[in-house]
C-alpha cells in the first residue's frame, strides 16, 4: 500500500506541475497578447490614415484657399495625409450637413466660414444642422477683416462725410454685396443701425460683380475683403475704414470704424476647423495643438497674409466654443432687429 500511495502521490505532483506549467504558459500568452494589442493601439494613434477636410464651398474661394494651405502643413507636422474635399450644394449646406452626420473619429473634418455656423442658422429655419452646436469646435484658423470702401465718383472723402450725406439724402445711397446674409451685408446693416442712415442694399451674384458695381459708380459703397485695397491704384476706389476692433497688421494705415465715428463696430469674418459632435476630446485637443503650432510657422503665416488673412490668437477648443457662442448671440440679435431673411 505504501508503494501504491507513493506512486499516486508522485502522479499528483506531476499533475500539479503540469497544471502550473499550463497556467504560466497561458499567463505568458495573455501578457504577450496584451503587449501586442498595446503596441497595435500605439501604432494606430491618431491619425493613422488619411484625413478629409470638407470645404462646403467651391475651389479657389477664401475658405478653400485657407484649407489647402492648412492641410499641407498638417500633413507635414502630423505625418499623415490631409486632403481637401469640396462638397458643394445649397450654399454650403450639403457639405456641412455631411460632416455633421459623419463618423466622429477625427477622419472627416469641416472647414467653414463664419456665415454657415453663426449667421445662416438665424436666416433660415430649413437648415438640417444646428450651426456650430452640432459640431465639436477645434480652432479658429484665420480671419479676414473687411474694408469700407466708396467709389471715387461719389466724392465722399470720409466716414463722417458718408454718414452726413446719407442722412441728407435718405434712400438715395446704395451699397453692393455678393448676396443677402453675407458678412458684407450684415456689416452694412450694422452700420445702418449704428448711425441711423437709410441706404439701399443691392445684392449681386458674386464678389467680382459687387466690386465692379462700386468701381463703375452703380453703387455708393461696399464692405470688401482686404484685396479691394488693390483697386485704390486705379483711382476708382477710396478706403474709409476697416471693420476690426483694432488696426490690422495687413493695412496698419487704415483706421477702424470705431476710430472714425462708429464706436464698438466690429465685423470680422473668420474661418474655423470643426469635427462632428462627440469626436473624442484627445483628437480635438491634438488638432488644436497642431493649429496653434502653425502660428509660429513663418511660411504658413506669410502665405496667409499674402492672401489677406490674419492668424487669430491661440486659444483652446473651449475658448473657441465660447467665442462661437458670443458670435451666435450677436448675429441673432442683429438679424432679428434688421428683420433680414433669405427664405
pLDDT digits (tens, 9 = 90+) for 276-330: 999 999 999 999 999 999 988 999 999 999 888 999 888 899 999 999 999 999 8
**pTM summary value:** 0.80
Residue 176 has pLDDT above 50, yes or no: yes
What pLDDT shows up at residue 92? 83
Size of the chain, expressed as the number of residues it contains: 343
Q: What domains sit in the chain, N to C, each tagged with a CATH number?
A: 51-144+269-338 (3.40.190.150), 147-242 (3.40.190.10)
339 vs 252: CA distance, rounded Å? 35
Residue 189 phi, psi (nearest 5): -65, -35
Tell me the per-residue pLDDT of 34-71, one tens digit each, with 9 for 90 and over: 544 444 444 578 999 999 999 998 888 889 999 999 99
Q: Is the pLDDT of residue 127 over 50?
A: yes
Determine contact, residues 166/194, Cβ cutoff 8 Å: no
* CB burial string 176-186: b at 16+ within 10 A, e below: bbbbebbbbbb
Pairing of strands 221-224, 174-177: parallel
What is the overall mean pLDDT for the chain?
87
Residues with Cβ < 8 Å from 136, sequence gap 6 or more?
A: 104, 274, 275, 276, 277, 278, 279, 284, 317
Whole-number Å distance between alpha carbons of 143 and 308:
9
Mean local confidence (pLDDT), 75-103: 92
**Residue whose cell numbers read 492672401:** 307
174 CB neighbour count, 10 Å cutoff: 16
pLDDT at residue number 317: 97
Amino acid at each position: 500500500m505504501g508503494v501504491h500511495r507513493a506512486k499516486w502521490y508522485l502522479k499528483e505532483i506531476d499533475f500539479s506541475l503540469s497544471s502550473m506549467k499550463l497556467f504560466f504558459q497561458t499567463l505568458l500568452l495573455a501578457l504577450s497578447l496584451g503587449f501586442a494589442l498595446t503596441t497595435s493601439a500605439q501604432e494606430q494613434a491618431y491619425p493613422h490614415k488619411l484625413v478629409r477636410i470638407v470645404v462646403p464651398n467651391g475651389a479657389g474661394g477664401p475658405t478653400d484657399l485657407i484649407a489647402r494651405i492648412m492641410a499641407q502643413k498638417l500633413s507635414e507636422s502630423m505625418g499623415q495625409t490631409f486632403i481637401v474635399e469640396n462638397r458643394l450644394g445649397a450654399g454650403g449646406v450639403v457639405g456641412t450637413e455631411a460632416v455633421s452626420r459623419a463618423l466622429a473619429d477625427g477622419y472627416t473634418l469641416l472647414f467653414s466660414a463664419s456665415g454657415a455656423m453663426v449667421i445662416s442658422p438665424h436666416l433660415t429655419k430649413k437648415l438640417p444642422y444646428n450651426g456650430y452646436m452640432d459640431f465639436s469646435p477645434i480652432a479658429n484658423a484665420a480671419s479676414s477683416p473687411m474694408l469700407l470702401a466708396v467709389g471715387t465718383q461719389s466724392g465722399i472723402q470720409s466716414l463722417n462725410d458718408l454718414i452726413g450725406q446719407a442722412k441728407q439724402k435718405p434712400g438715395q445711397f446704395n451699397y453692393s454685396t455678393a448676396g443677402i446674409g453675407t458678412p458684407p451685408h450684415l456689416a452694412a446693416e450694422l452700420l445702418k443701425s449704428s448711425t441711423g442712415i437709410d441706404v439701399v442694399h443691392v445684392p449681386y451674384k458674386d464678389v467680382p460683380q459687387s466690386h465692379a458695381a462700386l468701381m463703375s459708380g452703380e453703387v455708393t459703397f461696399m464692405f470688401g475683403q482686404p484685396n479691394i485695397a488693390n483697386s485704390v491704384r486705379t483711382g476708382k476706389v477710396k478706403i474709409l475704414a476697416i471693420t476690426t476692433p483694432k488696426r490690422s497688421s495687413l493695412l496698419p494705415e487704415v483706421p477702424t470704424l470705431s476710430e472714425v465715428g462708429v464706436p464698438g463696430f466690429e465685423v470680422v469674418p473668420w474661418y474655423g476647423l470643426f469635427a462632428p459632435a462627440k469626436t473624442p476630446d484627445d483628437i480635438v485637443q491634438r488638432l488644436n495643438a497642431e493649429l496653434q503650432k502653425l502660428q509660429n510657422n513663418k511660411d504658413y503665416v506669410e502665405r496667409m497674409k499674402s492672401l489677406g488673412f490674419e492668424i487669430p490668437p491661440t486659444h483652446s477648443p473651449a475658448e473657441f466654443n465660447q467665442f462661437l457662442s458670443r458670435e451666435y448671440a450677436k448675429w441673432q440679435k442683429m438679424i432679428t432687429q434688421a428683420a433680414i431673411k433669405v427664405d
